[in-house]
Amino acid sequence: MDQMTKRPMPTEEGILAFHRRCEAFYPADAVDASIEQQRQWYDALCAEFDAPSPAGLTREDRLVDGRIPIWRYWPATVSTKTRIYYIHGGGFVVGSLNSHDAICAELADFAGAELVSVDYRLAPEHVWPAAFEDCYAVLQELLADGRPVVVAGDSAGGNLTAGIVLKARAEALAGIVGQVLIYPGLGGDLVSGSYVEMAEAPGLTTADTSYYRKILQAPADNPFAAPLAEKDLSGLPPTYITGAFFDPLRDDARIYAARLATAGVNVTFREEPQMIHAWLRARHMSEGAREGFRRLAEGVAVLAGTR
C-alpha cells in the first residue's frame, strides 16, 4: 500500500518503472478523453513497448468472412498442427493487430506453433455482441479444417476467449484443446472482493472497468458476455489462467479457476504477486513480468503439445 495515497502498490522496481512509463503515454484519467484520443494514446503506448520479432518468424494478413482482419504468424520452426488463436485486450475500446504484435510473435515462437490474431470490431461504434461475433466467426473458420486450436486472450480478450469457448461447447464445436485467460475480466461483482480492495490499483481501476462495461453494453446475465454467470463449467477444455495481484480483475481469475477445477476441468492457475494489469508489456523490463511471461508461454506450449 502506498502510504501517501493509500493506493495499493507493488514494490518491485521494474513494474513500478513500467507503470511510470505507461502513464507518460496513457494517463490515469484516459477514459475521460475522447475515444479517438484514447486510441491515439494507446497506440503510442504500444509502440513504446514494441520488441524485435524472433528470427525467422513470418506473418500474413487476410480477411475472414471478407471483413474480419486477421494476422497469421509462423515461427521459424513449427512443431505442431495445433494453432494458437489470440484475442487482444484493450477494454473492447482500444487495441488492434498492431498493439499485441510483439506478444503474439513471441508466443508463437516459444510454442513452435502457428498463431492467428484477430482485429475485432471495437466499442462504442460496435457494442456487444459485435466483438464476440467476430471472434467466434474466426474460431469457426480455424476449426473448420480439423486442426486443433488453443484460444488465448488478455483482459477484454480473456473475456472474449472464455465467452467463445462457452459458446463452442454449447454448439458442440469440436477441436478446442485449450484456453488461456490472461488477467481476464469475466463479469465479477464490482462492489466486492478485489474490485473493492484494488479499486485504485495502478494500471486499471474499478472505475475504469465500470466505464468499459457501460460502453460495451453487454448483458451481465449472459454467460457468453460474463462467463462467471455460467452455472455449469463442466466439459470445458484444459485451461491456463494467470492473474495479477494488484488488479481489480484479480478475483475474476481466482474464482473462475476455482470453479473450473470444481467442475473437473484440468486447470492451471498462476497469480503474479507483484504484477499489475497489463503486465505482459513489462516482460522485458520487470523480473516478475519476465517470469510470468515465461510461465505463460510454457502453459501455452503445453496446451499446444510442444512441451
45-91 residue pLDDT tens: 999 999 999 999 999 999 999 999 999 999 999 999 999 999 999 99
Cβ atoms within 10 Å, residue 120: 26
pTM value > 0.75: yes
Cis bond upstream, residue 129 (ω within 30): yes
The answer on pLDDT for 265 being more than 50 is yes
Task: Verify whether residue 53 is a known catalytic residue.
Answer: no
Across 140-235, the runs of DSSP E, i.e. the strands, are 149-154, 176-182
CA distance 101 to 287: 21
Across the chain, the runs of DSSP E, i.e. the strands, are 58-64, 68-74, 83-87, 115-118, 149-154, 176-182, 239-246, 267-276
Single out the catalytic residue among 96, 117, 155, 194: 155
Cβ atoms within 10 Å, residue 221: 9
Task: Verify whether residue 277 is a known catalytic residue.
Answer: yes
Return mean pLDDT, the chain. Answer: 97
Single out the catalytic residue among 101, 119, 208, 247: 247
Single out the catalytic residue among 19, 88, 100, 277: 277
